[in-house]
Amino acid sequence: MAQDEQAPERPQIYLISPPDFELSSFAEALGGVLDAAEIACVRLALASHDEGEIARAADTLREVCHQRDVALVIDNHILLAERHGLDGVHLSDGARSVRKARKQLGNDAIVGSFCGASRHDGMTAGEAGADYVSFGPVGATALADGEAADFEIFEWWSQMIEVPVVAEGGLSRALVTQLGPVTDFFGIGPEIWKAEDPAAALADLLSGLQ
């Protein structure tokens, strides 16, 4: 999927689940957002290490997403992605597991790689066969090591690299507007799920995009 050499297209939206949620209420909230906005992909990002809990969430959210022709990927769990009929994995260890995931899941699966703020890791992941590379956090957050992925990394990537790129972490309306011309996807999660109306919060976050 090559970058458009003409005017940049409007970035697509990639939703990220909360790290912890009540399954039935989140499934309902997710369905509401998927019905209200055009979403390219959803990522199941549970922090739990309870295989049963993750499996139940995978099955439930797969139905919610696939009923709407939206892909569902899962953080890191290659075996669970395969076992529960998910569309792929999002790997949080840079390029290290990309080849393994591709070999196990096949060429049709989505394999994404989170690379923090490292261009080198991003390029290595792309060369290893990642379908997309994710950089972040782009905004202020206490959940990372303090190093943010700045505008320049996305600007450089959009000019030099054909692998699609995702901007995620600490997004604000101003950052979405700024990064819109230089990213392919916005990975959006905590920014909307705490709102009373997540679909409205998403629309507000994206309101500065052309």
pLDDT attached to residue 9? 83
pLDDT attached to residue 7? 46
> What is the average per-residue pLDDT within 107-112?
97
Q: What is the mean pLDDT of the chain?
A: 93
Domain hosting residue 65, numbered range:
12-205
Q: Would 3 be classed as within a structural domain?
A: no
Q: Is the Cα torsion angle 170, 175, 177, 182 positive or negative in sign?
A: negative
Q: Would 1 be classed as within a structural domain?
A: no
Structure tokens of 22? 């009540």
* Chain centre distance of CA 117: 15
Q: Would 5 be classed as within a structural domain?
A: no
Query: Cα–Cα distance between 51 and 86 in angstroms, integer?
Result: 15
CATH number at residue 69: 3.20.20.70
- Token pair 């295989």 is found at 51
pLDDT attached to residue 62? 98
Share of the chain above pLDDT 90, in %: 90
Query: Cα–Cα distance between 64 and 27 in angstroms, integer?
Result: 7
pLDDT attached to residue 8? 59
Q: Would 120 be classed as within a structural domain?
A: yes
Q: Would 4 be classed as within a structural domain?
A: no
Reply yes or no on whether the pLDDT at 66 is more than 80.
yes
pTM of the model: 0.93
